[in-house]
Amino acid sequence: MKDNNCIFCKIANGEIPSATLYDDEKVRVILDISPASKGHALILPKEHYANLYEISDEMAMHVIKTAKKMAIKMKDELGLEGLNVLQNNGEAAGQTVFHYHMHLVPRYKEDKVNMKWENGELGEELKEELVRNLSFESGI
């Protein structure tokens, strides 16, 4: 399942060269070309999934296991003080490349990364509505 017009399909499968940190039969981890901080990396599945809604359970599991290994390597080698793991789905969420990828963004005391938002309030009515509509039975 590859998309011929997708740059991350080409990078993940080695058709376009990249600064690769890890590579196996399912994923490739590369350095982001416009890093938010030193060591900013991306985990790319080798199969094309546009986003989290589409990714297979098996691939999702492999991605998170890769993230854990990569995170420990970064912690040991970079002298980082924190690490953000994030993944954008849809333009409104900031997704610019529509091939699922997970960001690993190492954090340092004086870095220029900004992931702040204004905190709202969870009112009683809205809380009840959300719990009613969003809760689901086990079955993962």
Catalytic residue positions?
101
Q: Does 30 bind ligand AMP (CB under 6 A)?
A: yes
Please provide residue 71's backbone torsions phi and psi, each rounded to the nearest 5 degrees: -60, -45
Q: Does 5 bind ligand AMP (CB under 6 A)?
A: no
Identify residues 43-102 at the interface with ligand AMP (CB under 6 A). 88, 94-97
Report how far residue 31's alpha carbon sits from residue 98's, in angstroms, rounded to the nearest whole number.
18
Please, are residues 66 and 51 in contact by the beta-carbon 8 Å criterion? Answer: no
C-alpha distances (whole Å) from 4 to each of 31, 70, 89, 115 are 22, 28, 21, 33
Find which of ligand AMP, Zn ion, none residue 111 binds, CB within 5 to 8 Å per kind. none
Closer by beta carbon to Zn ion, 3 or else 111: 3
Instruction: For residue 27, list its beta bridge partners.
Output: 45
Stretch in the footprint of Zn ion (CB under 5 A) among 4-12, 78-86, 104-112, 117-125: 4-12
Q: Does 34 bind ligand AMP (CB under 6 A)?
A: yes
